Amino acid sequence: MKNIGYFSLILIVFFSCKNDKDTSNIENEPVINSVVFEGIDYAIKPGDDFYNHVNKKWFDKAVIADDQVGVGAYRFLNIPQQELLKNILEDVSQKEHSKGSVEQMVGDFYASGMDTISINKLGIKPIKSILERIDAISDLTSMLEFVTTQIKSGDYSMLYLYISPDQENSALNILHFAQTGLGLPDRDYYFSEDASVKRIQEAYKTYLTTLFQLVGDDNAKMQADIVYNIEKQLAQSHKTRIERRVIKENYHKMAVSTLNQKHPNIGWATMLKNLDMEVDSLDVAQPAYYDELNSMLTMIPLEDWKHYLKANSIGSHDNILSKPFQDAAFEYSKTVSGQSVQQPRAKLMVRRVDRQIGFALGQLYVKRYFNEDAKKRALALVNNFQKTLEKRIDKLDWMSDSTKVKAIDKLYAINKKIGYPDVWRVYDVTIDRNSFFENVVALRQDDFQFGRKELNKAPNRDEWGTTPSTVTAYYNPSLNEIVFPAGILQAPYFDLHADDAVNYGGIGMVIGHEFTHAFDDQGAQYDKNGNVTNWWTEADYTKFEAKTQQIVDQYSAFKVLDSVHLKGALTVGENTADNGGIAIAYDAFKMTEQGQDTTKIGGHTPNQRFFLSIANIWRVKMRDEYLRNYVATDPHSPPLWRVNGPLMNFTPFYEAFDVQPGEANYRSEEDRIKIW
């Protein structure tokens, strides 16, 4: 199945990479150049719509390239980042390197994927043996053996598993199973009658039909309908994205013996043996899915399941097969995203290399582009914001002293990772310059084995969840860590030569955002060690829940595309972090020399420049199709509301721009939400 995935950034932060000065005193860095905020639309009052006050003129002129779904900052800054990676890959792929070296692996992998002539000549040959194995399935036992064998090669169908800390004992990695089995972006897409979603449903059915046609199967449309109906039945058992935010209700640790009795058709013990995983218990995150799957395994004819597995297996390999398969995948994806033209092969391969062997590529990226001074400077800023949040927690009027002590204890237990791993991952693969399909599968197999080796062990706290060259950052509650890779160290979020207002409004918001994730609706349920446990007083947590519900209610009223409302319950964590991030950043800024001054730059006070920078870093334009799917599936609010939403609640913004009653985004003092 083709589940169109979008690179969902928890948030993006950028730092300058060009600094050879002492970075111990961030606030006293000299200003060399002043950032000019161009394109401000003074016809739009800041209190009516601050995002468009700053960005509307840019937005109206911005052109989204035909091969992209958006343009501007945020996740679309991955586009210029990929050019840097392309420079590396084109360089190393044109030279000979010793076998097994980092240069050889990434260079030959890239070269193998760029050889489209050879790839197209192969047609369906690379997956022919997989299809033959499906045809040979004779009973339920052999079908599940096929499913588990394919999982080892990164081909997931009706089962989905991963290894991560036990949320009740974070010192141990355990096996988790989660709901899966769908091809549309979300379970709700199977049941919606909305016209835009119906178009996606039909495009997906066409895609499935095309897959069967490409491998020469008869009755392709009938087979596609069978697959779609199986998925729809599975979707009925799925929890919604909002339901999956309730952490304790998505954790069900059970003995394998119990699961064996409960699901005889799945046969957990045999399945785990086929996966080479020795466990006596595991977590089933969404049991209703596996209850339904167990029933469906015998209710649905074996031949129908074989059609399902064929569609899944072809779909999980379509973009590494010949052009007709790639075209089929794109025809479906463009209905979801609005992207009208396929990206050049080089762009696709840069992303694939970064995704599949990114810690090898990351070593080359760091050597070529990363300035170590940026790492020191970033760490100093992060430490500064940590102290700022401590002060804010200490001053909270709704939290008791006993809970404050534990919150601050958790805050200072956060592990900070910046730049790149201290220990680089080693890929146990042989990359052949002439075997693209085999290279992809080998790397998928290596990923499986890499994870399997961590089972029943203490979590590897040196391990990273993103590659160093990726433009992203994140907070991980189960390890209580905050991570800022080298790939995000560039303007416009941080500029070494800009004034503090610009940097604290940019990087400041996002660093504060990440820290706040430790205390959002989900993060607040984890203690300093990453265990899901109640470290709050009952009264304090009741107050906290009431405040997060205010965030849910406020954002649920916001609209995009005229009629589509935000899902406040889905985005509550990110919205809480945005509100907290701005407040923390502002407090930190006010401790700088410029933050205590009133000297204008470019006609704006330091406080105004702080807020202008916040609006500037979320300057983004997306295709409507992409935005519609984004609102339905992404836990982040669209950029417009990442600016206007939190600023509605922040009194210093009102003071900076003299926001008055009657203006569209004005909220009375008592209606302004403050959590952290």
Cβ atoms of 613 and 586 within 8 Å: the answer is no
The whole-number average pLDDT for the span 619-633 is: 96
For residue 283, give both structure tokens. 């977590």
CA 451/CA 634 separation, integer angstroms: 26
CA 508/CA 587 separation, integer angstroms: 10
Q: Which residues contact 171 (CB under 8 A, 6 or more apart)?
A: 165, 458, 459, 529
Q: Is the pLDDT of residue 32 over 70?
A: no
Cβ atoms of 76 and 67 within 8 Å: the answer is no
pLDDT for res 507: 83
CA 102/CA 558 separation, integer angstroms: 48
pLDDT for res 510: 84
Of the pLDDT bands very low, low, confident and very high (cuts 50, 70, 90), residue 471 is: confident
Domain boundaries, given as residue ranges, for the chain: 26-86+371-414+458-671, 124-321
- Bridge partners of residue 11, in order along the sequence: 473
For residue 329, give both structure tokens. 């995948």
Q: Which amino acid is at 547?
A: K
Q: Which amino acid is at 209?
A: T
Q: Is the pLDDT of residue 199 over 70?
A: yes
CA 46/CA 54 separation, integer angstroms: 8
Which CATH number is 26-86+371-414+458-671's, of 3.40.390.10, 3.60.15.10, 3.40.50.1220, 3.20.20.70? 3.40.390.10
- Bridge partners of residue 162, in order along the sequence: 176
What percent of the chain is predicted at pLDDT more than 90?
86
Q: Is the pLDDT of residue 188 over 70?
A: yes
Nearest Cα to Cα of residue 480 among 523, 512, 511, 544: 523
Mark 621-655 as b/e (b = at least 16 C-beta within 10 Å): bbbebbbbbbbbbbbbbbbbbbbbbbbbbbebbbe
CA 460/CA 421 separation, integer angstroms: 12
Q: Is the pLDDT of residue 382 over 60?
A: yes
CA 356/CA 334 separation, integer angstroms: 24
Cβ atoms of 316 and 180 within 8 Å: the answer is no
Of the pLDDT bands very low, low, confident and very high (cuts 50, 70, 90), residue 1 is: low
CA 519/CA 527 separation, integer angstroms: 10
pLDDT for res 487: 75
pLDDT for res 75: 80
Of the pLDDT bands very low, low, confident and very high (cuts 50, 70, 90), residue 15 is: very low
Out of 173-177, 283-287, 493-497, 625-629, least confident range:
493-497
Q: Is the pLDDT of residue 172 over 80?
A: yes
Nearest Cα to Cα of residue 179 among 82, 292, 80: 292
Nearest Cα to Cα of residue 354 among 78, 8, 98: 78
Length of the chain: 676
Instruction: Write the pLDDT tens digit of every residue in 330-341.
Output: 999 999 999 999
For residue 284, what are the CA distances in angstroms to 279, 496, 535, 577? Answer: 13, 47, 25, 29
Three-state SS for 251?
Answer: coil
Q: Dihedral through CA 294, CA 296, CA 302, CA 308, nearest 10? A: -100
CA 14/CA 10 separation, integer angstroms: 14
The whole-number average pLDDT for the span 231-241 is: 98
For residue 379, give both structure tokens. 């760490």
How many helices (H) and strands (E) the chain has is answered by 24, 11
pTM for this model (two decimals): 0.92
Q: Which amino acid is at 615?
A: A
Out of 66-80, 265-279, 388-402, 655-669, least confident range:
66-80
- Bridge partners of residue 620, in order along the sequence: 72
* Mean pLDDT computed over every residue of the chain: 92
Q: Dihedral through CA 207, CA 210, CA 212, CA 214, nearest 10? A: -140
Nearest Cα to Cα of residue 646 among 611, 670, 621: 611
Instruction: Write the pLDDT tens digit of every residue in 476-511.
Output: 999 999 998 887 777 777 777 789 999 899 888 989
Class of domain 124-321: mainly alpha
Instruction: Name the one residue in this structure whose structure tokens are 């205390």.
Output: 519
pLDDT for res 470: 81
CA 187/CA 292 separation, integer angstroms: 14
- List the alpha helices (DSSP H) in 137-194: 140-151
Of the pLDDT bands very low, low, confident and very high (cuts 50, 70, 90), residue 3 is: very low
Q: In degrees, to the nearest 5, what angle opens at C-alpha 562 toward C-alphas 557 and 567? A: 35
Instruction: Write the pLDDT tens digit of every residue in 88-105.
Output: 999 999 999 999 999 999
Q: Which residues contact 458 (CB under 8 A, 6 or more apart)?
A: 171, 172, 173
Instruction: Name the one residue in this structure whose structure tokens are 């592990």.
Output: 415
For residue 310, what are the CA distances in angstroms to 129, 156, 157? Answer: 11, 12, 10
Q: In degrees, to the nearest 5, what angle opens at C-alpha 592 toward C-alphas 373 and 581? A: 80
Instruction: Write the pLDDT tens digit of every residue in 548-584.
Output: 999 999 999 999 988 899 999 999 999 999 999 999 9
Q: Which amino acid is at 10?
A: I
pLDDT for res 9: 33
Cβ atoms of 380 and 24 within 8 Å: the answer is yes
